[in-house]
Amino acid sequence: MYKPLVSTAAIALAMAASAGAAAARDQIQIVGSSTVFPFTTAVAERFGQSGDFKTPVVESTGTGGGMKLFCAGIGENTPDLTNASRAIKERELKTCLENGVTPIEIKVGFDGIVLANSKSGAVTSITKDQIFAALAKSVLVDGKPVANPNLMWSDIDASLPAVKIEVLGPPPTSGTRDAFVELVMEKSCPEQFEAADKNMCKEIREDGAFIEAGENDNLIVQKLEANPNAYGIFGFSFLDQNADKLQGATVSGVEPTFENISTGKYGVSRSLFVYVKKEHVGVIPGIEEFVAEYVQESTWGPDGYLADKGLIPLPDDVRAEQAENAKALKGMSM
């Protein structure tokens, strides 16, 4: 069991001092995942329109960057909530608790990770194994691991486009990157790699075939429009919102659609989260009310306004459980 590095009394004193400082701020501040960003922004705008509180400030920092800011401590100079396109990691939770931060976890929905390109480019059907062969730093040749020699998609399989492999994707700080590695790269990793060094399963090539495009998914969309031969990796919601410009690749025979993701048929899907800083509830005005807005059926339900933006709703029973925990402000512990 996790044990605090400082005394309970010391933490309480620090919390009280920071809480007093936090009272000087009257606007909710939110950081985190670029994937969850449009959903939380929509909730923030609707919340602000009520007129009771200022519209929260939402910043896209990436899941990892958001967790770092969120877990740094309490007080007005730290964010109140963070968005995440993966669950909080054990080491992040430990850091939070050590710094007097008690996260309240809310699973808000599902999202699919897509491989997409411009509608003026080739229509693509691909497997997870082929994606691994395109993006892994090392692949097997004659049973031995070597630096990835595949330069063209057609080098992997003649059925794929005879164009240079060029994929724009998220950086290591991104939850989308973490989920992509877990759901695609690790699932297709050769047994020889796992036996020798599991890290080989997670390593993405650095020779220019994969290009880290930062946390701005809208920028990836613009670059794909400009280059029909390039592909991008991002959340389904961005494909859905840019369906007039982009097309998603069929992965292992399944198209990335709202229905296929919600039923679990599409194999590159993950949960999305929002974390609330419990110590700021009742100190920064509007946090409890903002959480209540987020977990309303008219917000995140099947007919809610977030579904119109591409959020895949949780099953009814899971949604009810998450709403109950959110309203109870149930904090996490080790």
SS (H, E, C) 3-29: CCCCCHHHHHHHHHHHHHHHCCCCCCE
- How many Cα atoms within 13 Å fall on the side-chain side of residue 313? 21
Break the chain into its structural domains and give their ranges: 8-111+270-327, 112-269
The answer to whether 40 and 10 have CB atoms below 8 angstroms apart is no
278-313 residue pLDDT tens:
999 999 999 999 999 999 999 999 999 999 999 999
Q: Which of 167, 155, 171 is nearest to 117 (CA)?
A: 167
- Give φ, ψ of 102 to 5 degrees: -105, 105
- More confident call, 12 vs 50: 50
User: With respect to CATH, is domain 112-269 assigned 3.90.1010.10?
Assistant: no
pLDDT tier for residue 126 given thresholds of 50, 70 and 90: very high
CA pair distance 5, 179, nearest whole angstrom: 31
Rounded Cα gap, residues 74 and 64, in angstroms: 18
Amino acid 217: pLDDT: 77
200-251 per-position pLDDT tens digit: 899 999 999 999 987 777 888 889 999 999 999 999 988 999 999 999 999 9
pTM (2 d.p.): 0.82
Q: Report the pLDDT value the prediction gives residue 49, as an integer from 0 to 100.
A: 96
Q: Which CATH class is domain 8-111+270-327?
A: alpha beta
Assess whether pLDDT exceeds 60 at residue 196.
yes
pLDDT at position 23 is 52
Band of residue 2 on the pLDDT scale cut at 50, 70, 90? very low
**8-111+270-327 and 112-269 have identical folds:** yes
What are the residues whose beta carbons fall under 8 Å from the beta carbon of 332, sequence distance 6 or more? 88, 93, 102, 103, 104, 105
